[in-house]
Amino acid sequence: MRAAALRRAPHRLADPAFWLFAVLIALLVLLVANPVVRLVWDSFHTADGAWSLQSYATALGNARNLQALLNSLALGAAVTVLTLAMGVPLALAVSRSNMPARGLAHLSVLAAFVMPNFLGAIAWILLAGPNAGWLNRLWIELTGVDKGPFNIFSFWGLAFVIALYTYPLVYVFTKAALDLVSTELEDAAAIHGAGKFQTMVRVTLPLALPSIVGASILIFLEAIALYGTPALIAIPARINLATTQLVSFFQYPLQVEQAAAFSMPILLLTIVMLMLQRRLLARRGFVSVSGKGGERRPLDIGPWRWVLLAYASLIGLLSVVMPLVILVMASLSKAWGRGLASGNLTLGNYTTIFFEQVTVRNAIVNTLVYSIATALICVVMGICIAYATQRRVTPFPAVVQGLALAPVAVPGLIMAIGLYAAYAGPPFSLYGTGMLIVVAFTTRFLPIAVTACAAAVRSLNPELEEAVRVLGGGRVTVLAKVVLPLLKKTLVGVFILVFVICTKELSTAVFLTGPASRVVSVLTLDLSEQGNYETLAAMGVVLVVITTLVVAAGMRVAGRDFMLRRGG
Question: Could you tell me if residue 514 is inside a domain?
Answer: yes
Give yes or no: residues 75 and 181 share one domain.
Answer: yes
- pLDDT grade for 159, boundaries at 50, 70 and 90: very high
Task: Indicate if the pLDDT at residue 321 is higher than 80.
Answer: yes
What CATH number has the domain bearing residue 97? 1.10.3720.10
Question: Could you tell me if residue 297 is inside a domain?
Answer: no
Asked if residue 268 lies in contact with residue 61, where contact means CB atoms within 8 angstroms, the answer is: no
Give yes or no: residues 120 and 167 share one domain.
Answer: yes
Give the pLDDT confidence score for residue 15 in this predicted structure. 61
Give yes or no: residues 151 and 222 share one domain.
Answer: yes
Question: Could you tell me if residue 80 is inside a domain?
Answer: yes
User: Residues of 268-305 as b/e, b for ≥16 C-beta within 10 angstroms?
Assistant: ebbeebbeebeebbeebeebbeeeebeebeebebeebb
Asked if residue 44 lies in contact with residue 51, where contact means CB atoms within 8 angstroms, the answer is: yes
**What average pLDDT does this structure show over 107-116?**
89
Give yes or no: residues 95 and 157 share one domain.
Answer: yes
Asked if residue 465 lies in contact with residue 477, where contact means CB atoms within 8 angstroms, the answer is: no
- Is the bond preceding 253 in cis, omega lying within 30 degrees of 0? yes
**What average pLDDT does this structure show over 154-165?**
95
**CA 1 – CA 554 distance, rounded (Å):** 55
Structural domain boundaries, residue 172: 66-284+304-340
Question: Could you tell me if residue 8 is inside a domain?
Answer: no
Asked if residue 121 lies in contact with residue 228, where contact means CB atoms within 8 angstroms, the answer is: yes
Count of structural domains within the chain: 2
252 DSSP assignment:
S
SS3 97: strand
Give the pLDDT confidence score for residue 218 in this predicted structure. 86
Question: Could you tell me if residue 367 is inside a domain?
Answer: yes
| Burial tier of 484 (Cβ tally within 10 Å: 0-12, 13-18, 19+) | middle
What share of the chain in percent tops pLDDT 90? 25
Task: Indicate if the pLDDT at residue 292 is higher than 50.
Answer: no
Helix (H) or strand (E) holding 529: helix 520-530
Give yes or no: residues 359 and 471 share one domain.
Answer: yes
Asked if residue 448 lies in contact with residue 407, where contact means CB atoms within 8 angstroms, the answer is: no
Beta pairing partners, 146: none
DSSP letter string, 335-375: SGGGTT-TT-B-SHHHHIIIII-HHHHHHHHHHHHHHHHHH
Give yes or no: residues 319 and 376 share one domain.
Answer: no
Task: Indicate if the pLDDT at residue 178 is higher than 60.
Answer: yes
Task: Indicate if the pLDDT at residue 153 is higher than 90.
Answer: yes
Give yes or no: residues 359 and 273 share one domain.
Answer: no
Q: What is the mean pLDDT of the chain?
A: 83
Task: Indicate if the pLDDT at residue 436 is higher than 70.
Answer: yes
Give yes or no: residues 357 and 325 share one domain.
Answer: no
Give the pLDDT confidence score for residue 566 in this predicted structure. 44
Question: Could you tell me if residue 332 is inside a domain?
Answer: yes
